[in-house]
Amino acid sequence: MKQHIFVPLLTYPDATSDVMIANAIALARHMQATLTVCAVEITVPDVSNALSSLIIDAAQMAREAGALSRKRASVLTQKAVDEARAASVDLRTRKIKVEEPFVVEALAEASRAYDLVLLELAGLSRPIVEAVLFGSGRPLILYPPAPFGGRIDHVAIAWDGSRAAARAAHDASIFLERASKVYLLTVIDEKPVTYETGDYLVENLLKSGVVAEAVQVRAHGEPVGEVLQNKAFELRADLLVMGGFGHSRLREFVLGGATRAVLTSITLPILLSH
């Protein structure tokens, strides 16, 4: 079945980069997927009062922010249309208009109709990533602010035997089926890990025709998220698959260490699933 990829085009306060649009089109072309870009136009509510108007013109600032968002939405959408046409990618365009405080909820809801969501980590606020990761019910690929070819040939799976890791491995099936090599990465000195399920997963992948190998690494006290990324880079992986671990406490997410690390800094595309 044809895959459907969703890419929000953020416009305020920071805009989605041209590099991210190119990465999304390259991936859609490689997967022969339909790509939907969704321009997010924001409106800023006028919260001015008599006192604030003496200091700043809040209403004027709100109008300028909205105008900037609309302009960026138009420019980014046209760029995606032009590049998709040149790459023969099936592109659809959407637009959502939302008040600035409700962008995160709108993006989580909009993402639910698609198979995969792509976001660029640079310039993103953590609430946007968390909203899509924990609220959309869809896997998310985070990209560093750098160009990547669309081909995903080597895939590394961060494996600790958890439900989140199993969910992520399943959600990455479309990439595992096409990979020439899959590595199951396990950090063995960070917390107790049951190896049996990982061995069975490798066995099942091999039986399905996927060339897979279990790889054990030691963190030696270093942050697990960095260790996993470094090992994936060493293995020349094009994609690192991880379970996004976290739970909501009074609507503030308390994240697992590896998830927190990749939401801070990444060096290669990372598929997160919750």
Mean pLDDT of 135-142: 94
- pLDDT score of 189 more than 70: yes
Per-residue pLDDT, 249 = 46
Lowest model confidence (mean pLDDT) among 87-91, 96-100, 112-116, 182-186: 96-100
Residue with tokens 């503030």: 252
Mean of the pLDDT values across residues 198-226? 92
All residues at 6 or more sequence positions from 130 whose CB lies less than 8 Å from its CB, including other chains:
104, 246, 253, 263
Residue 28, pLDDT score:
98
CA distance 54 to 66: 22
Identify the residue with better confidence: 76 or 198.
76
Over residues 125-136, mean pLDDT = 84
- Mean pLDDT, the chain, rounded, equals 88
Asked if residue 146 lies in contact with residue 233, where contact means CB atoms within 8 angstroms, the answer is no
- CA distances (Å), 233 to each of 156, 223, 227, in order? 9, 16, 10
Mind spelling out the 3-state secondary structure of 165-200?
HHHHHHHCHHHHCCCCEEEEEEECCCCCCCHHHHHH
Report the pLDDT value the prediction gives residue 262, as an integer from 0 to 100: 65
The predicted-structure confidence for 28-87, as pLDDT tens digits, reads as follows 999 999 999 999 999 887 666 544 555 566 778 888 888 999 999 999 999 999 999 999
Q: Report the C-alpha gap between 195 and 207 in whole angstroms.
A: 19
Position 255 scores a pLDDT of: 47
For the stretch 233-260, pLDDT in tens is 999 999 999 987 654 543 444 445 566 6
Cα–chain center distance at 215: 24
- For residue 47, the model assigns a pLDDT of 62
The model's pTM is 0.89
> Distances from the Cα of 155 to the Cαs of 32, 235, 271, in angstroms?
19, 9, 10
Can you list the domains of the chain with their CATH numbers? Answer: 4-143 (3.40.50.620), 154-273 (3.40.50.620)
Cα gap 202→56, rounded to integer Å: 61
